Amino acid sequence: MQDSNNTREKIFTFIENSSDLAIELETELCKRPAISPESGGEGELDKCLFLESWLKAQGINHLERYDAPDARAKGGIRPSLVATIPGRNDKDGSLASNGCGRFWIMSHIDVVPPGETSLWRTDPWKLEIREDGKREDGSSLGKHIIGRGVEDNQQGLTSSIIAALALVKQGILPSRTVKLLFASDEENGSIYGVDWILKNNPGLFQKNDLVIIPDAGDSTGSVIEIAEKNQAWVKFTTFGKQSHASTPREGINACLAGADLIVRLYYGLMEKFSKRDPLFDHEYSTFEPTKKEPNIPNINTIPGEDVFYYDMRILPCYPVTEVIKEVNRIKAEVEVKYGVTVDCSIGQSNESPPTSPDSPLVKFLAKNIEEVYGIKTRNIGIGGGTFAAFLRQAGIDSVVWSRIEHTAHQPNEFALLENILGDAKVMALMMASVST
């Protein structure tokens, strides 16, 4: 017990003295935009190369790259990086003979664009440190950093590295091998990130691995995400017949048919898939029309083609295929009514089973959160999509957790230093713990 207490004290002291190290890493990450080609960026190569070099300089030398080919990106690749810290039961980094899986912490290195820069009080790509600032309830924020990506997902990334360094730099061997994944392409569906890694490196993960993804949570750190809604991003293209707006009978108005389809889908799908699940904050499935592409540049022409998109977040009890079947039924009604043809294509689709609330991983995490933050946890489901969906599909227990302020994707995104260091303590305790 004394040895355990000494280890805990050494870990906590190291982390509490790591504010400058955390700020240094966040500063360097922030100045290297890692925006996907879909959002007008060059990808993640510069950021990945920096991180690889920085980790080596800190003494984490077991690093492996997994580069998904993408001709649009700088270097023609979308790189992901895995850092390994061998554990007591698995000194060579392979699966331990006693069946003890590896402990993964997975974060992503890509970020979203800053958006409207006039809404930023600082340069989005130059980290700024603030001591002032208050929440809406009037409470003080304390020391925090501002910049694009500092919370999403550099907070979790930095916490995982500080946690690993608390062991590596003090010669503390983890109980099981620790693997830190820094992935590309999370913000646009992980086609070139975790999804690609799983499909092209089937031996990298094991069924009994434990995975934490520090990419969602609340401001207290009390919620553990164990389930995600099924997700589908659907593109609808309506084909009619272009004509002059003064003679509409000579054309077929694709915009009118598309507008009717938008409304029918919204109310029809909500009525058809109406079950509720209290595990989720939004207890019901959501079907939201979002992006609308331009059709014609002038007012006085009946458009012959119209394009819109739907973002569907579906309770796990409904398979995506069942929803698309109903979409096609509604689509057929509109085609008959207006004499149009509608193409429906799925751009992204994920569905996965939940992680059991009784799994050792959930209980292990809850125990360490309580030790660090002194709070009881509760399990939730979310509508957003994370790496966890892909891992759960592969049968690997995964949870999503962190203590965050929910500033992701917003102007003046910020992260609290106390959250970075506090979450690092939780992660480091889990790395050092003898068992779940």
Alpha carbon of residue 60 to chain centroid = 25
The answer to the question of residue 362 being in a domain is no
Indicate the number of domains in the chain. Answer: 2
Q: How far apart are CA 224 and CA 210, in angstroms?
A: 14
Regarding whether 409 and 306 lie in a shared domain, the answer is no
Domain end among 299, 332, 350: 350
Can you give the CATH number for the domain in which 164 is found?
Answer: 3.40.630.10
User: What pLDDT, on the 0 to 100 scale, is given for residue 98?
Assistant: 43
Do 176 and 262 reside in the same domain of the chain?
no
Q: Are 224 and 366 in contact (CB under 8 A)?
A: yes
Q: Cα dihedral sign for 76, 80, 85, 86?
A: negative
Domain range for 415 is 2-216+386-432
Q: pLDDT by residue for the chain (436 residues), tens digit each?
A: 346 788 999 999 999 999 999 999 999 999 999 999 999 999 999 999 999 999 999 999 999 999 999 999 999 999 999 999 999 866 444 443 345 689 999 999 999 999 999 999 999 999 999 988 777 777 888 899 999 999 999 999 999 999 999 999 999 999 899 999 999 999 998 999 999 999 999 889 998 999 999 999 999 999 999 999 999 999 999 999 999 999 999 999 999 999 999 999 999 999 999 999 999 989 999 999 999 999 999 999 999 999 999 999 999 999 999 999 999 999 999 999 999 999 999 988 888 899 999 999 999 999 999 999 999 999 999 988 888 999 999 999 999 999 999 999 999 999 999 999 999 999 999 999 854 4
Q: Do the domain assignments include residue 49? A: yes
Domain membership flag for residue 367: no
- 339-371: pLDDT as tens digits: 999 999 998 888 889 999 999 999 999 999 999
Same domain, 176 and 256: no
Any catalytic annotation for residue 110? yes
Pairing of the two strands 305-314 and 286-292: antiparallel
Domain boundary among 350, 366, 397: 350
Closest of 245, 234, 46, 159 to residue 430, by C-alpha: 159
Is residue 372 domain-resident?
A: no
Q: Are residues 207 and 246 in the same domain?
A: no
Same domain, 272 and 337: yes
Domain annotation covers residue 60: yes
Within a domain: residue 145? Answer: yes
> Which residue, of 350, 373, 401, is where some domain finishes?
350
Task: Please tell me the predicted confidence (pLDDT) of residue 3.
Answer: 67
164 and 60 in a single domain? The answer is yes
Is residue 38 annotated as part of the catalytic site, yes or no? no
Catalytic annotation, pick one of 67, 90, 110, 423 = 110
Q: Which helix (H) or strand (E) holds 302?
A: strand 301-302
Global model pTM greater than 0.85: yes
Q: State the DSSP H helix or E strand holding residue 197, giving kind and residue range, or none if neither.
A: helix 194-200
Per residue in 275-297, pLDDT (tens digit) is 999 999 899 999 999 999 999 99
Q: Is the domain of 118 the same as that of 17?
A: yes
Catalytic annotation, pick one of 67, 185, 186, 187: 186
Strand 286-292's sheet: what is its strand order?
286-292, 305-314, 230-239, 341-350
Same domain, 180 and 88: yes
